[in-house]
Structure 1
Amino acid sequence: MLLLAVSLSGCQYDVLHPSGWVAGQERNLLIISTLLMLIVIIPVIFMGVYFPWKYRADRPDKSDYEPDFAHSNKLEVLIWSAPVAIVIALGVFTWIYTHRLDPYRPLDLAHAGEPIEVEAVSLDWKWLFIYPQYGVASVNELAIPVNRPVNFRLTSSTVMNTLSIPALSGMVYSMAGMETRIHMIADEVGTFAGRSAHYSGPGFSQMTFDTDAMSDADFDAWVSSARAEGTALTRDAYLALEKPSIGNPVTLYTDPDPELFERIVGLCVEEGKVCMDQMMMTDMHGGGGLAGIGDKAAYEYDGQRMIDGFGNLMQAPGAGLIDGNDDTGANDAPDVQEHTRSAPAMEHN
Structure 2
Amino acid sequence: MNIFDPQGPIAAANKTILIDSIAIMLAIVVPTIAAIFAFAFWFRKSNARAFYWPDWEHSGRLELIVWSIPALTIILLGGVAWIGSHQLDPARPVPGTGQGVTIQVVSLDWKWLFIYPDQRIATLNTLTVPIGAPLHFQLTSASVMNVFFIPQLGSMIYAMNGMVTRLELRADEVGPLQGLSAHFSGDGFPDMLFDVHVVSGPEFASFASNTVKSDRVLNSDVYKSELLKQSVPKDKAAYRLDDPELFLSIVSQKIPPGPGPQESANIGANNVR
Pairing partner for 1:268 from 241, 254, 257 = 254
The alignment partner of 1:192 has SS state of strand
Say yes or no: does 1:37 pair with 2:37: no
Pairing partner for 2:88 from 95, 101, 120 = 101
Q: Does structure 1 conserve the Cα–Cα contact (< 8 Å) formed by 2:119 and 2:208?
A: yes
Pairing partner for 1:252 from 238, 250, 257 = 238
Letter in 1 for 2:133: R
* Structure showing the higher strand proportion among its residues: 2
Give the number of aligned pairs. Answer: 265
Change in 2 beyond 3 A, CA 1:312/1:80: closer
Cα deviation, residue 48, structure 1: 0.9
Q: Does structure 1 conserve the Cα–Cα contact (< 8 Å) formed by 2:113 and 2:124?
A: yes
Say yes or no: does 1:85 pair with 2:67: no
Give distance in 1, aligned partners of 2:39 and 2:174.
Answer: 53
The alignment partner of 2:154 has SS state of coil
Give distance in 1, aligned partners of 2:264 and 2:45.
Answer: 67
Change in 2 beyond 3 A, CA 1:23/1:252: same
Q: Does structure 2 conserve the Cα–Cα contact (< 8 Å) formed by 1:122 and 1:155?
A: yes
Change in 2 beyond 3 A, CA 1:307/1:266: closer
Give distance in 2, aligned partners of 1:75 and 1:136.
Answer: 66
Give distance in 2, aligned partners of 1:71 and 1:112.
Answer: 63
Cα deviation, residue 309, structure 1: 4.1
Say yes or no: does 1:117 pair with 2:99: no
Cα deviation, residue 56, structure 1: 1.6
Give distance in 2, aligned partners of 1:148 and 1:191.
Answer: 16
Give distance in 1, aligned partners of 2:196 and 2:116.
Answer: 14
Letter in 2 for 1:214: V
Say yes or no: does 1:76 pair with 2:39: no
**Structure 1 residue aligned with 2:15:** 27
Say yes or no: does 1:216 pair with 2:216: no
Greater displacement, 29-38 / 189-198: 189-198
TM-score normalized by the length of structure 2: 0.90
Give distance in 2, aligned partners of 1:177 and 1:251.
Answer: 25
**Structure 1 residue aligned with 2:270:** none
Cα deviation, residue 310, structure 1: 6.7
Give distance in 1, aligned partners of 2:149 and 2:108.
Answer: 15
Change in 2 beyond 3 A, CA 1:55/1:79: same
Give distance in 2, aligned partners of 1:196 and 1:307.
Answer: 15
Change in 2 beyond 3 A, CA 1:60/1:230: farther
Greater displacement, 224-233 / 19-28: 224-233
TM-score normalized by the length of structure 1: 0.71
Cα deviation, residue 150, structure 1: 0.8
Higher-Rg structure is: 1
Pairing partner for 2:118 from 130, 133, 138 = 133
Taking only aligned residues, the RMSD between alpha carbons, in angstroms, comes to 2.0
Pairing partner for 2:130 from 131, 134, 145 = 145
Structure showing greater relative contact order (alpha-carbon pairs closer than 8 Å, 6 or more residues apart): 2
**Structure 1 residue aligned with 2:163:** 178
Give distance in 1, aligned partners of 2:126 and 2:158.
Answer: 19
Cα deviation, residue 306, structure 1: 6.6
Q: Does structure 1 conserve the Cα–Cα contact (< 8 Å) formed by 2:120 and 2:241?
A: yes
Cα deviation, residue 148, structure 1: 1.1
Letter in 2 for 1:96: I
Structure 1, unaligned stretches of length 5 or more? 1-11, 270-300, 314-349
Q: Does structure 2 conserve the Cα–Cα contact (< 8 Å) formed by 1:148 and 1:185?
A: yes
Letter in 2 for 1:155: T
**Structure 2 residue aligned with 1:339:** none
Indicate the percent of aligned positions where both proteins have the same amino acid: 38
Give distance in 1, aligned partners of 2:262 and 2:213.
Answer: 34
Structure 2, unaligned stretches of length 5 or more? 267-273
The alignment partner of 2:105 has SS state of strand
Cα deviation, residue 224, structure 1: 1.6
Letter in 1 for 2:205: D
**Structure 1 residue aligned with 2:46:** 58
The alignment partner of 1:52 has SS state of helix
Q: Does structure 1 conserve the Cα–Cα contact (< 8 Å) formed by 2:109 and 2:260?
A: no
Say yes or no: does 1:194 pair with 2:182: no
Cα deviation, residue 160, structure 1: 1.2
Q: Does structure 1 conserve the Cα–Cα contact (< 8 Å) formed by 2:140 and 2:162?
A: yes
Letter in 1 for 2:141: S
